[in-house]
Structure 1
Amino acid sequence: MVDGSGPPTLLVAPEPDPDALRDELAETAEVSSVETAEYGATALEMLEDGPVGAVLSAADLADMGGVDLLQQARCERPTVPFVLFSRDGDERLVSEALSVGVTEYVPVESNPDADILADRLTDALARVRPDLTGEEESAGRFEQLVEFSTDMLTIHRRDGTVRYVNPIIEDIMGYAPSEFVGHNPIDRIHPEDRDDVLEFFADPKDWLGEQREVTYRMQTAAGAWRTLESIGHNRLKDPALAGVVVNSRDVTERQQYQRELERQNERLEKFASVVSHDLRNPLQVIRARVEAARADSQSEHHAHIEDAVDRMETLIDDVLTLAREGQVIGDLGETALDDCAHAAWAHVDAPEATFACRTDCAIEADADRLVELLQNLYSNAVRHAGPDVTVRLGLLDEDGFYVEDDGPGIPRDERDLVFEYGYTTGDGTGMGLAIVREIAQAHGWDVTLADDADGARFEFTGVTVCPDSAGE
């Protein structure tokens, strides 16, 4: 955006419409302002009269050639960035321009394209690397800062071609930086991912100063495919960078691990479902046989058999819950904590126990899993504190809630073990509190056992309390 805070860029062009080209450059290039001159002599006078940030000149002027202007400008301003554009692809013209110190040469077709000229102008400014506020910056400072980065860093022009890439690309992808600079790497992107990458770079004028992310596969120099996770920062209007800065990280191993973990979880869940189905059938037969046996005779063994069947069914339910690794919770939403608390209590067979809920707030949670978490805590309290236990649920001061009972509590030497799989001090399965921890962690909560409580008190922190919900 033109702000007039620094020296102007001088556009020297006789045709077809230098004022229109000036206006387009002012909107597109990262320069403070743009002034025009139709003749080379006028441009030289402007170079003599005051500071000029850069010169953008056509090769054919009314009174002299662009190379002649460049040669005379170098006598007056030897370090000013000078971009020469021409419809003539004559190699001698290019050679002459390079020999007298042109910064950038741009071949154009018919009318000059402002976007292309703006890109090459920013390249020229970046190469000489002046600070447009007047403070000079040492050449190559940016490259020195990112040279040893562990991420692959590229700076792209608005058309996607690479202006700079740090040397780490050779370690990650096997390419020398020179193989990328000046090229658009889209041909090295996996065909299935190209549309995503093209959308990532689309319409850079529409997301100036913003950030985008994309994950895709790129082919290495050896022909293998690596998965890259890229974050792009649109810094086209930043004079120090003048491009889309892309930080790319190789996440191939991480994605392979995640896919393998998902496959293992699927196999585990299928295995647990099959096993639970196969176990429930004989348990139903046992229960039916016990009921038939009760009708024929009375025996103290019948109650013990039914208790064992109940324990097996509870164990099966717990195994299925733990087998849902990666699917412990579903979508999170605004959930009434008191509704879930009472719903969980309704599943607990403890007619002599007392339950008190001291909150009517809403939290961000999966309601079904929250009910399951609370039900396990209640059942644990009844099992260890007795059938007439009092259980209370309330809010902590800041970001959480607690569940406590008035039972004997948990011995200090066992507090570090209560959330471990298989740990139990009674006739439980040893999975109830392990499930509580799994569900809490899946929500992003921390669960701890309070040290100073008279009974057992479980505290959950890191909980998001929904706005406008009431407290205790």
Structure 2
Amino acid sequence: MDDLLSDPTTVLVVGGRERAVAQVRSGSAGSFDEVVVVVDSVEAALATLSDRRDVGCVLVTAAPTDASVVEACERIHAVDEHRPILLSLDDSAGRTAARATQVGASEIVLDEDDLPDRLAAAVDRYERRRDQAAESSMFRAILDGVEGAVYVKDRAARHLRKSTSPGDFSSEEFIGKTDVEVYGESDNTLASYEDDLRVIEEGEPIYDKEASYTTPDGTHWSWTTKLPWKHDGEVVGLVGWTRDVTEIVERRERLKCQDERMEEFVRSIRHDVKSPIQIASGRIALARETGDVTTLEQASEAITRIDEILDDLTQTVLENSSLSPEGVGVGQSSPVSLSDLLEDVWELVGFDAASLEIEFGADAVVNAPRSSIRPVLENLLKNAVDHGCSGVTVRVGPLPSGGLYVADDGPGIPEAERERVLEDGYTTTRTGTGTGLSIVTNIAEQRNWELSLTESWAGGARVELRNALVVSDPSVVPTAEETFSLTDGIDVGDVIVAGESTLEGDEWHVSGSGKNIYGEWNEFHFRCASVDGPVRIEGQFTDLDGANEWSTAGLMIRDGLDDEASYGHVGLTAGHGTKIDWRTSRGEGGTTRHLEESSLDAPWYRLDRVGDTLTIYCSTDGRSWRPLDQRRVELTDPVRVGTTVCSVQPEELARSTVEHLTVTRLDPE
């Protein structure tokens, strides 16, 4: 393409017939400005074309010394099919000229007096064709290589050209169609079509318009630029470029979220420190007035709490440097004992007349940073004590569908006020700051917990924290001798590409397609066994070749094989750490948690079923197991137990390798 840097001002004459050459030279001195180069052989002509980039036309006037006219035209045409070849032969070569036009000659000049004008026109035509071919090649390179979708549309917003984007329809399926005709009617496609028409009708461009759309692998964002396409001053269509900017938008939102979290964190620290300072100050003042030094113990406890808050501050800063807002930090923080934490908080916020009832077992844990769960429980318990009667009873316990609740037998919260109570600044006292429950709300949003207010068993307030990773009873159930073979390889849901699963030695190799295991979607390959009663499945995921970053491979216990079945599922994603999925009742929408932890080295997972309770575990070595989550799931024997693969790219397969995969009978005492 370096030819584009040279003007095609040279005419190459092959054959050297004197009268024709004379006419060309006279033309170059008068009616056109081209340089004339004369050669007598095809080899010399080809060498000239190789050495020079400014040849705009070839004129064959006679047979060269080393080839026929026809052969000369054929070989010269092969060098550049766009460069014109003119023939100006003597009167006896009519048949030869006709044959030459069949192999590359572009026109025959019968009247040699016309040669100067015909050559000038041919050179001009070649320059236009050369430039058009180069521009077409450049545009094709853009279509084939640019990231995102590049397209050209006519005045009716129908595609004339379209690049092929990964995961999209082929470019041929767009030609002659609008976005609405390709994708169907939706808010996004209708808005895009309206933008097309506005650009075409008004002639005004659109730059970097941001839009979001949902696919089976989550929400994506795009930026679109559309420019009016003008020809001879008239808008004849548009040229556009749409690119995926999900990573950019997510990074922007993370930074925004971090700013908001830091601002809220400062307010939270101010609020959390206020109570122990007040307690310490009050107890010290009381000791001075009465001489009762026992009150100093309570002051000491309050000061200890201030130290803990400062420790939490340090921990939170460390977490914010390595975790996403939703991450729970598997492998980076230990499960928090709920009983110990509740008793510790109650020592600070409770008083003699109030009572705390803990419905959790002594070994119950929550998988969340202590710096997140402590201020939640502290604010909820303090709120119950502050707004309850003098002998208020506060009860904390597990939710069967996952999470925990804090309830009291105080006056409760009117239904009309429940949403406002969670807002920042809401308070019912003159001295209140209105930040307590808003802190709970913000932490819940950051951790992807679902917060709701309802009525307690006694008509008081009940705050429910759903989708928190709570394990009420992490006790390990012993196994029996009986094991089960994974006999069935089944595609669940309406998958496009069939999966398969094979056992080679101790390794299961499983491949699967499917939209997702998420919300309403249930499409994946399932290698499974049918089992009655208590059961455990565990295995080590040593490899996952994902079709994209959301592809997943895991372990599942499922009520059946239809896509409405309830289930519990844990697994590894290609780019977002551990993924936990639940559908606790048949036909309902599922819930998902991406833990977003740092990548574990060949993680182990385990799933235990005892009755309707499923417990999920993870491990780094297959010996020391950490309980992750526990929920009640509607299950009817026999259940399906096995390993899954879902590509989250419906037309492609993802592949996993699972070692030490076992299904074992449990023997609860």
TM-score range, shorter chain: 0.3 to 0.5
Structure (1/2) with the larger helix percentage = 1
Higher radius of gyration, 1 or 2: 2
